[in-house]
Amino acid sequence: MKRIYMLAALLALLFTAAPAEKAPAPAAKKVAPVSVSTASYQAKRIKDKKTGKVITKWVRAKRVVPGTVVRYIDTVTNRTDKLLKNVAIKNPINPHLTYVAQTAKCATGCRIYYSVDGGKHFDVPEKLFVKDLKTGKRRPANPKEYNAIQWVIDEVPAESNTTVEFKAKLK
Amino acid sequence: MKRLMMIAAAMLLGSSGAWALGTTAGTRIDNNATLSYSAGGVAQPDVNATIDDHGSADSFVVDKKIDMILITDDTSDLAVVPGQTEAVRNFTFKNEGNADQNFSFMAGNVDGGTADYSGGGTDDEEVEHITKITWTGDGNCTGDASGGSKTESQIPFLLEVDENCKLTFVVESTIPTRGEGGVDGKVMVIELNATAMKDATTKESNTSGADDDENVDVVLADGVSGTTLESDVTENNTATDTASDGVEKARSGYVIETPELTVEKTSCVYDDPVNSTNNPKRIPGARIMYVIDIDNNGTADATDVNITDDIADQLLYDTIAHATDPDTGSGKVTVAENVDSCGCTDGQKQNDGTDFDNTGSGTELKVEGIDIASGKHTCVSFTVEIK
């Protein structure tokens, strides 16, 4: 009889203890204090419902064929309470794309540099040179030969975001 | 080592195909961005853009761009004669899309149409048959696209054309005979067209609705001016194509150029036994000059024209075999530019400048080897005596 009571007590302990133990809450997604995201867009001509005029709107790049110009927008977010200075964004250009000259820009003040060696070295256009495949001689790089871009954003204020962008054409 | 070489070869092939006329459909285009910054003067670790399921911060799949060009290589209507067979017209086709594609090829007559080159005539007659279409592919073409031919009953036909493959087409036609309407000046315009096909029976069409960036959609991009990327084929057709309909057309033509001969026979009395040459009459013993005026109203020169004339019984047979030139009495038939006495003037003088022999016999007079240029006429004359 004593053994039966002990078993019942043990079971009771088990069943009462289980609900008391709370399931572990899902780990909160860690939000980076500073982050960058990128998105691609393509131009679409649509009819404005109000004016009836055909306008060009940038929509997410989904129907892309050779010759399509893709607009990439990189968004930099500063979630800290401090002003960030000289924030650098590097964006390689996919080898299937050709950079469209003079389309790299930024929403706020920045300096823009380019690379012709896959991002190992960035510089201003005047200082970028390539070896001409036909002549074998060194010559200034053509914007179509850029294969990476770097933006150095002067300032990203606390708790804010800013964007940089460029356009490239699908080969 | 062998495997390494195979991989290298595959990469080489892959790159040449991919870059020829655009990024191949289905290729995933990734984009990544990296951020560098300092906090409190201390460089922080680089921050990469958020990566998606495909290992990229942003990516999409290249859709299928259906683009092709079809032109005629001809620059003017081909001069043909009635009943001519295997009359050839030439076309060039190129798959300028970014994927291998099925195309249906069809050739036919175009009522009232004109060819794509300038100066072509307006269609006013039909070719009797398009008997054969032959094609030859360049080095980018494989399988059936590398070369072949189809006869009349096999047209239209389906062909899978590799990306960047260029085909030269030869279309052969049979020209209607004179009895079938193939007369001088008639123009026949034919059209070769290529239709992008999903399969043997279904035409390709634009993918409708919202795009799925994970799937390859279809975008018809044919016939849009200025979209050709690196084509070595120059568009030369003017009004025959509609943009982005998956169909390309090219036109070429034939024009019938043939002599159109008419014959008129007249006579005049040259002299008689009573009046001699002074107002001679057609009495027995009179000499009659016959003139056969042959007119070429066609657009082509006539060569080796033969004249056969069966002389009436009432005329002196003996003289027939010796039909004489009244001027020279040489016993020959004259083929000349002028026979004033019978009113045949301004005719074409024959090249050799000599008289033609009468090669006939009995009551038959026969003259062979006369040339009459387009728009010209010539005068054949001989003299006989009334019994």
Distance between CA atoms of residues A56 and A67, nearest Å = 17
CB of B228 less than 8 A from some CB of A: no
Confidence of residue B209 (pLDDT cuts 50, 70, 90): confident
B62, A87: Cβ pair inside 8 Å? no
Determine the pLDDT at residue B235.
Answer: 66
A65, B30: Cβ pair inside 8 Å? no
Determine the pLDDT at residue A148.
Answer: 98
DSSP string for residues in B21-72: SSPPTT-EEEE--EEE-EETTEEPPPEEPPP-TTSSSEEEEPPEEE-EEEEE
pLDDT above 80: residue B217 = yes
Q: What is the percent of chain B with per-residue pLDDT over 70, rounded to a whole number? A: 81
pTM over 0.90: no
> Between these two residues, A8 and B277, which has the higher pLDDT value?
B277
Residues of A in contact with B229 (CB under 8 A): 66-67
Highest mean pLDDT among A22-36, B158-172, B286-300, B323-337: B158-172
Distance between CA atoms of residues A96 and A116, nearest Å = 15
Determine the pLDDT at residue A62.
Answer: 84
**What are the pLDDT digits (tens) for B139-195?**
999 999 999 999 999 999 999 999 999 999 999 999 999 999 999 999 999 999 999
Nearest to A88 among B36, B49, B219 (CB): B36
pLDDT above 80: residue B55 = no
Determine the pLDDT at residue A27.
Answer: 57
pLDDT above 70: residue B367 = yes
Mutate to test the interface with A, among B58, B65, B214, B227 (most CBs of A within 10 A): B58
Rg (CA), chain B: 36
A82, B35: Cβ pair inside 8 Å? no
pLDDT above 80: residue A56 = yes
Determine the pLDDT at residue A45.
Answer: 84
Confidence of residue B122 (pLDDT cuts 50, 70, 90): very high
Q: Which residue of A has its CA nearest to B44?
A: A34
Determine the pLDDT at residue A25.
Answer: 58
E strand or H helix that includes residue B7: helix B2-20
Which pair of structure tokens corresponds to residue A126? Answer: 């005047």
Residue-averaged pLDDT of chain B: 84
Confidence of residue B331 (pLDDT cuts 50, 70, 90): low
Instruction: Give how far B25 is from chain A: nearest CA, Å.
Output: 8
